[in-house]
Structure 1
């Protein structure tokens, strides 16, 4: 089956419509689903076709607002809320236990959540909030609910884990494993940490596909440059201005970047989650809703990096993950 012709301008709705048969009957869990973000838009278009969409967030009120908005548009959508704070390993374990109590398997897990890009912010576990929210918490959560993912596998279907990475991953040269274990305020650079967190996403998509031996397919992607609640946070604005994403007024700058709307920004996530042609390329990286392995940074193609990242993260969370 050949995939539809997607482009920069393709919307999440268009991708979901194209793959509606693949979405039908599926149970999907999406992290980071606050309104005015690509996670909530991903949930919105998938909920029109899926059996179940689990929306997550650390803020109960914002999570309820997302559920209410989804139900208002589509009253028949099956939406379930899950309180999940990826910056706390204890909170991750609590949320995972709740998922493991569900009667349904999980066909697709989408890691969309991210922390604000700004000065070093330590989590309750003394980890960098960016790396904890984008990589360490998701690693532990995926590991703990992996029985639910494996339960969704059949002779004709391989469950998926999707990481919303960024083209900015290529600005990193590798993973600073010392900083992953123990962040240091001296010399901390927010955008360097961001590039490393997004590199970890790409490495994880490749490594989970390898270690699961075909039982789970991992994918990562660049969603585009999008004006969401993430880059409107006070602690992020100065960083965004420094690299020219936002102008002096804190608004999107078109001088260096071509912007996507939120519906366009969520499109590639939906493609990574449901495009059946991707079964042939587990571990793939996508951009503009299509394969883009040629855009992966060299450090993310290094098998030794992927292996070490997995093992160091096991050490940090205190749990070995063997399929």
Structure 2
């Protein structure tokens, strides 16, 4: 079967329409689905066709607003809410236990949630907040619900795990400070560097998950594009994005920054979740709705670093992630 070619301008609706037959019957869990974010738009378009869409967030009231907005457009959508605070390992374990109590297998997990860009702060587990919410919490969550993901596999279908990363994975001081991941040091903290390292961890985890699962799970990471979402509008995000030249003095997008709309930003996530054309390239990094491994930083291309981020995160959560 032939599918349309996608690009920078493709929207999530266009991708979901193209893969409607693949999405039908699938159960999908998406983290970080607040309104005015790419996670919401991802859930919105998938809900038109999927058997079940599980939306998550740490704020139950905001989660309810997301469900209402999706059902206003797709009244017959099967939506299930899950309260999930990725900044707390105990909360992650609780949410995962709830998922594991449900009868359905899970065909696709989309790790979309991320923390705001803020000054240095520690979580209840004494982890840096961005790294905890954007990498360590999702790693543990993926590990704990892996049996649900594996249960969706069949001779004709390989379940997928998607990590929403960023082109920023190679910015700043490229790489990951593994010692600082385990024991955060406020004296060397820089908000954007924490963001970059979190996104690098996402790229590395996708590669290593694909490798370690031996064909049982296909994992992908992606750059959604520069998008004026909550992260750019709250916390230290506006000032940092202004410093990088993406926002003007009024903290609004500069025309020359070539930013995407939210529907365009969610498109690459939907491609990573369903496009059969990337089936034979697990671990790939996507940009503008296509595989773009040539854009992966040198640090994130090194298999040794993928192994190290995996082992370091296992040490932090106190559990091995095996198959």
TM-score, normalised with respect to structure 1: 0.98
Q: Secondary structure at the match of 1:48?
A: coil
For the 8 Å contact 1:118–1:239, the answer to whether it is kept is: no
Structure 2 residue 119 is matched with structure 1 residue 119: yes
SS of 1:28's partner is: strand
1:243 aligned to 2:265?
A: no
Q: Which runs of 4+ in 1 moved over 6 A?
A: none
In the alignment, what sits opposite 1:162? 162
State how far apart, in whole Å, the 2-side matches of 1:4 and 1:89 are.
41
- 8 Å CA contact 2:117–2:235 kept in 1: the answer is no
Asked if 1:100 corresponds to 2:100, the answer is yes
Equivalent positions of 1:183-198 (< 5 A) are: 183-198=184-199
8 Å Cα contact 2:162/2:221 also seen in 1 = yes
- TM-score in terms of structure 2 length: 0.98
Counterpart-to-counterpart distance in 2, 1:188 and 1:230: 18
**TM-superposed deviation, 1:2:** 4.8
Paired residues, what number?
322
Structure 1 residue 239: Cα displacement: 1.4
Partners of 2:57 and 2:4 lie apart in 1 by: 32
Instruction: Give the SS at the match of 1:50.
Output: coil
Q: Distance in 1 between matches of 2:98 and 2:47?
A: 21
* Post-superposition offset of 1:3: 4.1
Match of 1:149 in 2: 149
* 1:110-149 Cα deviation digits (max 9, x unpaired): 0100001121121111111111111100000000000000
Q: Distance in 2 between matches of 1:253 and 1:315?
A: 42
Which residue in 2 is equivalent to 1:293?
Answer: 293
Q: Quick check: 1:181 aligned with 2:204?
A: no
CA shift digits 1:191-219 (9 cap, x unpaired):
11111110111111110000000000000
- Comparing 225-234 with 306-315, which one deviates more in the overlay? 225-234
Native 8 Å contact 1:168 1:195 kept in 2 = yes
Please name the residue that 2:228 is paired with.
227
Gaps of 5+ in 1: none
Q: Distance in 1 between matches of 2:247 and 2:90?
A: 35
Structure 2 unmatched runs, 5+:
none
Moved more, 70-79 or 239-248: 239-248
Distance 1:90 1:254 in 2: 43
Residue of structure 2 equivalent to 1:59: 59
